[in-house]
């Protein structure tokens, strides 16, 4: 499950990166294509202007546009362009082509503008008519951008459909190669997990024998025997190593995708209450108050695993709360999840330690952990249990102000 999520994340990262690059390239190419089409329209108007200019002689007999129409050479946009000739008083004197109602645009030199006229986009060329240094009027050519805009729509439609198909193909390739790239990592992880499981299993039997013999030896020793404290120390070490081997076996079991734990509908409030009652003597012995606020909510889970996770969180809170402090465990329903929060007013966690708090064998306060007999696996086990139930576990803490561990599990949908 962990490697499947990692594979999807790698594939998603690859797809997002490619998507950004492809969209950037498509956007740039669309802009370049748009500019090129606009330049082509402008060049067409300039060519028409150059063709018209000789016919607009002041002293020539007859209107200039009529002479041009008689002698004009074929031009692709001559029937779609609106041609207007203005005199020096800015009065329209001649006109050719469709009527787009383009207003007069005065210009001291040849200019091209883009206007929105009656919901239609137009490119308008304005050119002053000058003969022998004298301003005679203006030539104005207006050309609709319909062809350019239609070409852009077709280009964008084709481009983005092609891009979508390309992204689907690249996503599939990315998912495939993400799986291949994770094979060495998964093999290494499997070797480590198998080693931990084998080590825990191999340690279990000799530790049980050793612990039984030490207990028998401790019973045989007199109360005042000098060797008794040493034997008790050995017994305590055996118990600690035994707990460590059991934790390693549990972690290996939780992280194995082939191992399925039997699940059932569990009243989470009752489970938490039983855990609180079991730990109450330990809290009382240390002088730490434990309170609870519970609601009724059912989750689909493996009972012993969730109880172990809850116990680990309460054990952790007890270990890092000084005598006279307090721990509060509460349940609340939040959407489709039920949340279990364990809040203490203990020593808290430094900000730089929070990202590593769920790592195996990581201890915030090593001396305190050892005094309390911790193996450094409690929180790692709790997180593995919660994630195997499709839940989340995280911590909010500030050094010197206590900590809150928040466990969220999906509410059961099984009747």
pTM listed for this prediction: 0.51
Q: What is the CATH number of domain 2-151?
A: 3.30.450
What pLDDT, on the 0 to 100 scale, is given for residue 310?
Answer: 93
Q: Which residue has the higher pLDDT, 10 or 59?
A: 10
Distance CA 67, CA 71 (A): 6
Most confident among 10-24, 77-91, 316-330 (mean pLDDT): 316-330
Distance CA 193, CA 248 (A): 9
Determine the 3-state secondary structure of 342 from DSSP.
strand
Region(s) of the chain under CATH 3.30.450 = 2-151
Burial of 219 per CB tally in 10 Å (0-12, 13-18, 19+): exposed
Local confidence band at 71 (pLDDT 50, 70, 90 cut-offs): low
Q: What is the CATH number of domain 264-410?
A: 3.30.565.10
Contacts of 234 (CB under 8 A, 6+ apart): 214
Name the average pLDDT for the chain. 80
Distance CA 248, CA 28 (A): 55
Asked if the model's pLDDT at residue 405 lies above 90, the reply is yes
What pLDDT, on the 0 to 100 scale, is given for residue 129?
Answer: 84
Q: Which residue has the higher pLDDT, 117 or 362?
A: 117
- Angle between helix 378-388 and 228-254 (nearest 10): 20
Distance CA 370, CA 362 (A): 12
Most confident among 21-35, 191-205, 358-372 (mean pLDDT): 21-35
Region(s) of the chain under CATH 3.30.565.10 = 264-410
Asked if the model's pLDDT at residue 23 lies above 90, the reply is no
Q: Looking at residues 364-377, what average pLDDT do you find? A: 59
Local confidence band at 119 (pLDDT 50, 70, 90 cut-offs): confident
Chain segment 230-271, per-residue pLDDT in tens: 666 776 667 666 666 666 667 666 666 555 678 889 999 999
What pLDDT, on the 0 to 100 scale, is given for residue 218?
Answer: 65
Distance CA 412, CA 145 (A): 61
Distance CA 344, CA 328 (A): 6
Distance CA 199, CA 206 (A): 12
Query: What is the rounded radius of gyration, in angstroms, for the C-alpha atoms of the chain?
Result: 41
Most confident among 58-67, 84-93, 172-181, 197-206 (mean pLDDT): 84-93
CB atoms within 10 A of CB 206: 12
Spatial CA neighbour of 267 closest among 340, 326, 374, 334:
340
């Amino acid at each position: 499950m962990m490697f499947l999520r990692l594979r999807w994340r790698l594939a998603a990262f690859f797809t997002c990166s490619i998507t950004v690059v492809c969209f950037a390239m498509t956007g740039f190419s669309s802009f370049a294509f748009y500019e090129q089409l606009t330049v082509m329209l402008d060049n067409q108007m300039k060519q028409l202007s150059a063709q018209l200019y000789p016919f607009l002689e002041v002293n020539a007999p007859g209107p200039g546009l009529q002479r041009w129409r008689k002698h004009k050479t074929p031009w692709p946009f001559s029937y779609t362009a609106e041609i207007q000739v203005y005199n020096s008083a800015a009065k329209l004197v001649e006109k050719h082509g469709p009527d787009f109602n383009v207003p007069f645009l005065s210009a001291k030199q040849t200019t091209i503008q883009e206007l929105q006229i009656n919901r239609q986009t137009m490119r308008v060329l304005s050119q002053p008519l000058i003969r022998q240094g004298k301003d005679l009027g203006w030539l104005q050519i207006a050309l609709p951008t319909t062809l350019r805009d239609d070409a852009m729509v077709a280009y964008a439609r084709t481009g983005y459909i092609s891009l979508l198909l390309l992204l689907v193909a690249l996503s599939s390739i990315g998912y495939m190669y993400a799986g291949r790239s994770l094979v060495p990592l998964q093999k290494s992880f499997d070797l480590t997990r198998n080693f931990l499981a084998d080590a825990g299993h191999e340690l279990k039997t000799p530790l049980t024998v050793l612990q039984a013999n030490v207990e028998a030896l401790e019973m045989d020793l007199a109360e005042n025997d000098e060797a008794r404290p040493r034997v008790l120390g050995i017994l305590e070490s055996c118990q600690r190593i035994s707990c460590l081997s059991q934790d390693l076996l549990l972690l290996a079991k939780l992280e194995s995708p082939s191992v399925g734990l039997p699940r059932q509908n569990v009243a989470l409030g009752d489970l938490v209450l039983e855990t609180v009652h079991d730990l109450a003597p330990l809290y009382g012995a240390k002088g730490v108050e434990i309170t609870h606020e519970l609601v009724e909510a059912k989750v689909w889970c493996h009972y012993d695993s969730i109880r172990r996770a809850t116990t680990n969180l309460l054990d952790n809170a007890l270990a890092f709360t000084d005598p006279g402090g307090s721990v509060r465990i509460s349940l609340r329903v939040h959407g489709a999840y039920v949340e279990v929060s364990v809040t203490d007013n203990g020593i808290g966690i430094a900000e730089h330690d929070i990202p590593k708090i769920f790592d195996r064998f990581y201890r915030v306060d090593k001396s305190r952990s050892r005094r309390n007999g911790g193996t450094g696996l409690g929180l790692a086990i709790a997180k593995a249990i919660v994630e195997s139930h499709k839940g989340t576990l995280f911590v909010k803490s500030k050094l010197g102000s206590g900590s809150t561990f928040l466990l969220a599990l999906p509410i059961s949908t099984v009747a």
